[in-house]
Amino acid sequence: MPSIDAIIVEVGKQLRSATSFVAIFGPLPSGDQAAKKSALRKQFAYLAHSVHPDHASKGSEKEAAEVFRTLNKIRQAAEKAIEQNTYEQQFKPGTGPVLDSDESSDSEIQSAGSSYRLPKDSFQHGDFSVLYKGRMKSGDSVIVKISSEPAYNSWLEREALVLGQFRDAKATDPLSNIKPFVPALLDTFLIGGDGGTRYRVNVMSYVPDLVSVAEVMKAYPMGLDPKDAAWIFRRVLAQTLAASMAGLVHGALVPDHVLIDPFKHEPTHIGWGHAFKRDGKSRITHVVNRWKDYYPPEVFEKKPCGHGSDIYMAGKIMIGLLGGDVRKNKLPLLPKSVAGIILSCVESSRSRRPKDAREVLDGFTRAIRDEWGRAYRVLNMPVR
């Protein structure tokens, strides 16, 4: 008897590779729609029981939840197919099971080497782009990011260059250690639009369950418990280090650009379209308006920006996350050692800020371990 976890994995695989509803739920009795739907529900209930996340062992809950969601979506699509009398038909070649409610509105874009199916609706907006949750031929989910104006192509190109730098780092290069924490760039190309227009497309692998620090702030408007914010701050500091190791200034370390996994406590660093060479002369030329208070004074003085500018923004994120006053650098009640480190990051003079985020990270790690120990709690996010 295979383990429940093995069954979940197997069902997930079969769902992704199925070529028809019949292959998933079996043939349905001939007769009226009600009888067919009733039979479908029985089959669904059987399958759902075997993959239900409640039955999965610890560690497999996420996989089970994903499979369960997929199964549910396919059930909905199958019901629709019954109504439209298309239940017995094979899926269109290369499309996999129908996960989106209206398959006919899916579109496909192709690069030199791959093709990607995109749903009609986007699932996110970037600073310069629209993001779609697309699928590769294999059925794997990908993020397909398309510039929202041709004039923004260069921002996406900069992002592709930076992500490529991480992706192509050799195993001996310390930069390769960052790979798990930045989006994996799979493809970058252009597509045409109306009137001879061109849009840059960056394709990245999809990572489920990520939330942005901006979403965490929204979920905890009165501020997050410092014990929970502590590990997030460590991830934000890590993002400044990732930039520094790549010879870059991140340039837009704002709450939208730090993604975290509330269960695994791992980050994904994004927002690389804003990054630039750490050359001592380049500056941050563009700011995300809604996070204006998070940018250091040198930006508005049009002075060169560096690692210290990223550190400043990291500090501001921590203040915002704790429910403090970002503009006035006011923190809620915190252990002195912890507060001191955060406030040092947001000194308005660059020369008074820490020089290296690694020192901040080490100091902060020591401080929080002394105060709260080593374990991180699961961060509860409201159901979206």
Partner 1 sequence: MGGGNWDPGAYKSAAATRAATGVDDFDYDKKVRTGRASGIHPDLDPKKVAGPTSPLAGKNVRESRDNDEHPESLPIAVIFDVTGSMGQIPQVLQKKLTSLMDVIIAKAGVKHPQVLVGAVGDAYCDRYPFQVGQFESDNRFDEALRNIILEGGGGGQVKESYALAYRFAAYHTATDAFDKRGKKGYLFTMGDEMPWPNVTTKEVSDIFGVQAENDESVEELLEKAGERWEIFHLFSVDGSYPDRDDIHDRWRKLLGERFVKVEDSSLICEVVAGIVHMFETAHSVDQVVDDIGLKGAAATAVKNALVLVSAGRVPAHVGKGKAPTSKGSGTSDVSRV
**Interface with partner 1 (CB under 8 A):** 105-112, 115, 118-122, 125, 127-128, 130, 132, 146-154, 157, 160-161, 164, 188-193, 195-201, 279, 281, 283-290, 299-300, 302
- Least distance in Å: CB of 275 to partner 1? 13
CB 250 within 8 A of CB 239: yes
Q: What residues contact 1, with CB distance under 8 A and at least 6 apart? A: none
**Between 127 and 356, whose beta carbon lies closer to partner 1?**
127
Radius of gyration of the chain (CA): 24
For partner 1, which is the closer residue by CB, 152 or 312?
152
Min dist CB 360 to partner 1, Å, is 26
Are the C-beta atoms of 48 and 40 separated by less than 8 Å? Answer: no
Distance CA 292, CA 296 (A): 9
Nearest to 187 by CA among 212, 150, 156, 211: 156
> Within 13 Å of residue 75, how many CA atoms lie on the same side as its CB?
18
- Give the amino acid at 76: Q
Residue with smaller CB distance to partner 1, 5 or 127:
127
Going by C-alpha positions, the residue among 245, 262, 266 that lies closest to residue 310 is: 245
C-beta of 183: minimal distance to partner 1 in Å? Answer: 15
N-to-C CA span, the chain: 36
Beta carbon nearer to partner 1, 150 or 223: 150
284-301 burial, b for 16+ CB within 10 Å, e for fewer? beebbeebeebbbebbee
CB of 234 or CB of 257, closer to partner 1: 257
Retrieve residue 356's tokens.
Answer: 């290296």
CB 206 within 8 A of CB 131: no
Shortest approach of partner 1 to residue 53 CB, angstroms?
31
The CB-of-109 to partner 1 minimum distance in angstroms stands at: 3
Contact 187, 202 (CB under 8 A): yes
Least distance to partner 1, CB of residue 79, Å: 25
> Can you tell me the distance from the alpha carbon of 102 to that of 259, in angstroms, rounded to the nearest whole number?
30
Tell me how far, at minimum, the Cβ of 72 lies from partner 1, in Å. Answer: 24
- Confirm if 367 and 338 have CB atoms less than 8 A apart: yes
Please report how many Cα atoms fall inside a 13 Å half-sphere around the Cα of residue 362, on the Cβ side: 5
Least distance from C-beta 339 to partner 1, angstroms?
30
* Smallest distance, partner 1 to C-beta of residue 164, A: 7
Report d(CA 56, CA 114) in Å as an integer.
Answer: 35
DSSP state for residue 326 in the 8-state scheme: T
Q: For residues 3 and 285, which CB has a smaller minimum distance to partner 1 in the complex?
A: 285
Q: Coil, strand or helix: which one is 306?
A: coil
Q: In whole angstroms, how close is the CB of 133 to partner 1 at the nearest point? A: 11
Which C-beta is closer to partner 1: that of 13 or that of 302? 302
CA distance 79 to 34: 10
Q: Rank residues 183 and 324 by Cβ distance to partner 1 and give the closer one.
A: 183
Pick 190 or 210: Cβ nearer partner 1:
190
Comparing CB distances to partner 1, the nearer of 107 and 205 is 107
> Which DSSP helix (H) or strand (E) runs through 337?
helix 336-345
